Amino acid sequence: METITDRLNRRSLELNVSQADIIRATGAGRGTVSGWFSGANAPSAKYLESLAVALKTSTTWLLSGKDDDINSRTEPSIDISPIATVGYAPVISWVQAGSWTDMESISNLSECEKLPLVPGAGKRSFYLSVRGLSNAPHFEEGEKICIDPDWCLEDIQTGEMVVVSCDGEATFKALIVESNGYYLKPLNPNWSEQIIPLKENCTLVGKYVGSFRPAKKFNLSN
């Protein structure tokens, strides 16, 4: 008899949806989603709707394998996602990013400034405010960068921007992937330290997925 795990794995293969995609779509933790795919646990009610949307199907089909009249399973080419509702993410401090474990580790979350999520950002994403000139002119001082924590280092490519925590201090740099390890590089060619080895005590906080740039007024006078 086919289980919800069987249907989840089959539908994911049909749509070429990865576990990382499911993590970003549902906001569930990596271990939780892994358990759904292995059969160690089943998706709880709070994740079913977003999981169904990610897999372009219905909660009825996920739970029973049967289609209902309203949200029947569609062909992979048909997008049944609802008109986007804007999600928001908190702006946290670099100190908080340095000790990041998950969103629950942010004690003053309700007091944090909230900004709309950039397209493609996972539900657990957060913002940081750029400090310093190590990545100038590509990133400006004070620019709000959106960081998605639901990425594995192995899935990030050379040239993509990451936030990494080393000894409790977070830094924002471009990643370099080499056969002998990982390195960080500032985008500012005049920065003193150009290649920084990623040490064993460093952990990935998240991947940069976009910036929030509010509208601004331009000075057109000569």
Query: Are residue 60 and residue 100 in the same domain, yes or no?
Result: no
Q: Select from 194, 196, 158 the least CA-distant residue to 178.
A: 158
Pairing of strands 181-185, 144-148: unpaired
Total residue length of the chain: 222
Q: What is the pLDDT of residues 177-199, one digit of tens each?
A: 998 899 999 999 999 889 999 98
User: Is 159 in the same domain as 115?
Assistant: yes
Phi and psi at residue 64, in whole multiples of 5°? Answer: -125, -15
Instruction: Give per-residue pLDDT as tens, 107-135.
Output: 777 788 899 988 888 888 899 999 989 99
Q: Where are the beta strands (DSSP E) in 48-160?
A: 88-90, 114-116, 126-129, 144-148
Range(s) of the domain holding residue 185: 88-212
Q: Are residues 60 and 122 in the same domain?
A: no
Residues 194 and 101 in one domain: yes
Pairing of strands 196-197, 126-129: unpaired
Q: What is the pLDDT of residues 2-50, one digit of tens each?
A: 899 999 999 999 988 888 888 888 888 888 888 999 988 888 888 888 8
Is 116 part of any domain? Answer: yes
Mean pLDDT within 160-175? 92
Question: What pairing do the DSSP bridges indicate for beta strands 114-116 and 126-129?
Answer: unpaired
73 confidence band (pLDDT: 50, 70, 90): very low
As a whole-number percent, the residues of the chain with pLDDT over 90 amount to 32
**What are the structure tokens assigned to 180, written together?**
């002998």
In 3D space, the residue among 62, 57, 59, 60 whose CA is nearest the CA of residue 74 turns out to be: 57
- For residue range 78-117, what is the model confidence (pLDDT) as tens digits? 444 444 445 788 999 988 888 766 666 677 777 888 999 8
Distance CA(139)–CA(147), nearest Å, equals 14
* CATH assignment of the domain containing 51: 1.10.260.40
Domain total for the chain? 2
Tens digits of per-residue pLDDT, 141-154? 899 999 998 888 88
